Structure 1
Amino acid sequence: MKKIKMIALTGILLSSTILGANTTVAQASSNKALSVDKSEIANNVIQVINELLNSSSTASNVNSQTKFSDLEDGQTMNVAPIFGQKTDTQFDNVLQGELNVVDGNEQLVSMVTSDKDSNGFPKTVKYTLDGVTKTITVNYNFARPIVSFTNNSQVMNFKDGTEKAAVEKAATDTANVKAISSNGANAKGETNSTSISAEISSDGKSVTFTPKDNYISGITAERTVNTYTEPNWTKINNSVDGTVNDPNDLNDTVLTNNNGNMYLLNTTNIKKADDGKTAIFNYKATAIDAAGNTVTDAISGEPITYTSGEQTINIDSSTVHPVITFKDKNSENVVYTAFPKDKTTFTTEDIEGLLPEKSGYALSGNYGDFTATAENNKQTYDVTKSVDTTVNYIDITTGNNVGSEKLQGNEGTPAVLTNVPENYKLVNQSDILQNLSSLTPSKDVYVKPKADSNSLNYTVTFRDKTTGKVVGTESQGTGNFGSYVGVTAPDGYALASVIDHGFILLKNDQKVTKYVVVADTPYNISYVDQDTGEEVSAQAGKGANESKIVLKAPTGYAFVNADDINYTIDKDTPTATIYVQKSDQTVDNIVSGYPHNGNIKIYDGNGKLNDDVVLSEGSSWIIDKTITINGAEYYRVATNQYVKASDVYKYTPLQTVAVTNGTNVTPVYNSKGQLIIDRALDVNTPWYTDRSATIRGKKMYRVATDEWIKASDSTLR
C-alpha cells in the first residue's frame, strides 16, 4: 500500500523572533481522525520584545542624590566615566547629573569644573549654594581591561628539547591574546585603545599577561606552559608483565609518565620470531590531555609524538592476558588502559577497581560480568570524569574577588552559573554557561556593578491604533531601572499587539505610548457534543476584532479539532460552533511531536506499526485515550491509531508574555529538557509564549520553535 505522508502546518521561527505556532493537523488515511481540519498558517509570528536594544541611558537618571548640606568640603566622589562628549557644556551637564548634588528642594546645585586631566576629564568640581562653596575631587570608576584568550591559547604545549628561546617567544606571543576594555572614547572624543604585555615566569611554566587601555592598567591573566617529555618506554612492559596474547593488544593503550604526561601508544614495525614466542617492534606515542584529546605543539601545530627504539615482548597464546580499555563517554577517546593479572573474569566492582584512584573517572552505565578468553581478551568501558570547578567572580572596576561558586559535573559537559554576587552582573553574558574541564579547576569570570536601582517615574499614554487618538486615562507609576513594566488596556479596549503589553523602564519620567484597539466585538461560542449533536456548554463575551483567545473545553470533554483551542474573534461571524467529545483527558489533552525528530509513527491498539500513515514532524494532535502496551504508554489520536508517549510531549496552549527573572541571563532548553549551550535570554526581557509544558518534571514556557525557559526563571504577564 502506498504510504501517505501527513503534512501539518506549523509556526515559523525567525532570528531574534518568537512564534505563536499554529496547531493545524491533517486527516490520517481514510480513518476518522480526531482532528481533520486543514487551514493556512496563522499570521502569528511576533517580533521579540527587547526594547533594551538601541536604547541608551545616563547615570543621571538613576544615581542616588547627595544633599549639598551633607557634602563635605574636600571630599572625593566616585562616578562612572562619561565617554565621548564633544563639548565642555555637554560633558558638564552629564557630570552634574552623575554627581547629583541637590539643594533642599531636590534641585541640582550649579557647579564649575576645572583641572582637567590629559583625557579631558575634570578632576575638580566646585559647588556654590547660598554663598557657601565646597570643592570636591572627582574619581572616575574606569572599568579595568581584561584578557581574552582565543583559539584555546590559554594553555600552550611544547615538545621537550625545543630551544628555550623559541619556547619563550611562542609562549609570550600575543597573537591569540587580546586586551578587552569597555571604556569608551575620552572627553575629547578620542578613541580608546588597548595594549597587552607578557612576562614569562622564572621556571618557564607560566606567562603573565597585563592588559592596559588609555586610562588604566587591567586585570592580569596567566597562560600555562606544558612541556611533554619522552615516555618511559619500559613502563608499559612492566604494566603488562612483559607478556601479551598478541603485540596488537598494545595498540590504543595509554601510558602516563612519572611527570604526569599522558600518551596514546600504538605499535609499529612488528616482527615476530619464527617460534612465535617473542616480537620486536616500535612504539609510537602521541601526547593526549586528561580527556584523551590529542595535544599539539604550539610552534609546529603538529601532534606531539615520540617513537621508541626497538622493544621486545613475549607472546603467549596459551594463557589469557586481559586488556581493559576505558573511554571517556563524552570525547569517546581512550583515557586509561589496564592489564590485570591473575584474573580472567571480572565483575563491575572488579572493573571499577582497575581505575586509578586519582583519575577522577567512574564507570558510566551498568555492565555485566566479563570473562576474557584467548579469542576475546579485550573489553572497552565508557567512563565519565567528575569535575569540580571553582569560579571566581572578579569586579572589573576594582580587580577584586567579590565572590565564588563551585560547579560540579562531568568532564566536557556544560554547567550554569547560579550564584552571581548580588548587585553585580556578568560582563560577558555568554559566561553564564561554563564548559567543565579538569584542565581548568578554577576560572575567573568578570562581573561589574549594577546601576543604582532607585525608583523611576513613568507615564503611559494609550492611543487607538485605528484613529490615532488618545483614549482612556494615563497610567502612571514607579519602578526600578531596567525592569519590565506590564500595562493594562483601558476599559473597552484591548492591547493592539504583544509588543504593547509592556516596556523596559530605562530613565526617570519615561514617557511611553501604547496602542490599543476597540474591544466591542461580541462572540458567542456553542460547545456541541459531536456524538449526540447536543449543546453541552456555551461561552459569550466581547473582545477586539481579529484577536485570539485560548478556549477551554467543558469539564469532562475534549476538543475534537486542535485548531479550535485558539479562537479568533470575527465581527462578521459572531457565533461559532465548537465540537467536543467526552473524554477522560480532562487536562493536557493536546500533544506535539518533537521538532527535528522526524515524522511521528502510528501504531494500532495492539502496538503494531502502521506502515500506511505517519504524522508530520512537530505536528499537534488532540488525544482522547491513554493505553499501555507491553509496558509502554500510547496516546490515541484517531480510530485505532496511537502514538508512543515517548515520541510526543503534552502541552497547554497559551497566548501571553513571559518575562525573564533573576539577575543574569536565563538558560534556554529544547523540548526534551536539554540545555542549549549557545543560547540564553537577557534578564528582564519579555518573550511571547504560546505553550506551557512539564518537561523532565519542570514547568516550562515555549518562546521559539524548540526553545523553552523554566517557569521558575520567568513571570507571566
Structure 2
Amino acid sequence: MKKSTSLLLSGILVSGMVLGTIVTPVTVNAATQATTQADQTVTNYVTFVNADGNTVRSSQALQGTKGQKITFAPDGYTSADSSKAVFGNNGDSKTVTVAKMISVKVNYVDQNGNLVNSETVNGGEGNDYKLTNLPAGCTWNNDAEQTINLVDGKEYNVPVTKKVSNTVIFKTADETEVGRTQIFGDKAGVKVSLTDAQLPEGYTTTSKDLTLQNEGNTQFVTVTKSATDGITPIKGVVKVNVTMAHLYDKDGKTLSRSLGKNSRWQTNNKMVLNGVTYYQVSTTEWLKASDIIVEGSTNTTPDKDNNATDTTAQKPDVKAVTTKDKGMAQLYDDNGKIIESLQLGPNTPWATDLMKTLNGEKMYRVATNEWVKVSEIK
C-alpha cells in the first residue's frame, strides 16, 4: 500500500504572508487499484417502449455490465436501431426502444423488368435490413440498394443486373437426362467452368469447361456414373510381377492365398483404398497394383492349338463346392488349360457363380479364370 505525506498549514494570509503554525504530518492510505466501470455488474430496471413511446413491457430487472448497450427485447420484438440505452449505475431505471418483428417480401428485378427471384425477410419494423441473398447470376446495381428500411405491409422491388445465362442439361451416353443447372457470365463467348456442386450427384464429366452462348441458350453435357466406394469398372488382364503376390479382400486385409509370378488374371474392377490401388481377380480377391503389370484387354478366345469344346456358361446348380478330403484339386483356366501354379486344398469350400462343360467334363468357376472339375469335388 502506497503512503503519501502532506503538510497541512493553518493560519491566515496577511499581506502575502501566511501566519500560523505547521500541523503535524498525517498519513493517507491510497487504494491499490481503482474499480473500473467495466468491472461493475449492475441491475437496472428496464421499461420497453415502441417508436411512439407506448409501453410494450413495464419495468423488468436486467443485469449487465455498466456502460454496456442493452440489447434484450421482449418476445416478438427486437432492439430498435434508434435505441442507445446502456446499463447505468446499480438500481437505475432505463427506457429501451424496441421494434416489432415483421416479415416483408422482397422481389429482385433485372434490368429488363423481369422478376429474377423473391424471398421473405424478417426484422424489426423501422430498422434497416441489409440484403445478402443475391440471386445467382446477378450483381447489385449499387451498394445502397442492398439495404432496405422495413415497413410493415410493404413489398420491395430491388433492382439487380442479371448476367447472360444458359441452361445446362446433363445426359448420359444413352441420352438419359440426369440433371440441370444454370451458368452465368458477363457476355456470350466467355469461358465458364462448372462446379462440382452443379454436377448431378453421383456423376462426373471429362471436362467442366463451357463457352457461354447467347442469353437463354441450352447446352448439353455428357456425364458418367461415378465409381462407387473408390471402385472403377475396367476390363483387362494383369500379370503377377513378384515371386508370390498376396491376395487381399475389399477392405485391404491380407488373405491366406497368394498368386505365383508370371501368372495372368482377368480383372473387372480397379479400386483405390487409402491411397493404395488394387485390381480384382476374383469375387472376393484383389491384387495390389505394386505386385502386377496391367497388360491390357482380356482375350478369352481359345488358342488355335486348343480344341476344347466350350458350352455356354450358365448359372450353377449349387452355390458352393467343396474339394475332396484327400489330395489337391487342380485349377483350370477359361479354356480348360491347367493353371500350373494354382490348386485348391483338400476339403475346402468355394463359392461358385458359373458352371459349364469343357471337353465333356462339367466344371465350376471359383474365381475369375479359375475352374475346378466336378470330379475333384464332393
Name the TM-score, length of structure 1 as normaliser.
Answer: 0.17
- The structure where helix makes up a greater share of residues is 1
- The structure where strand makes up a greater share of residues is 2
Name the TM-score, length of structure 2 as normaliser.
Answer: 0.31
Between the two structures, name the one with larger relative contact order (CA 8 Å, sep ≥ 6).
1
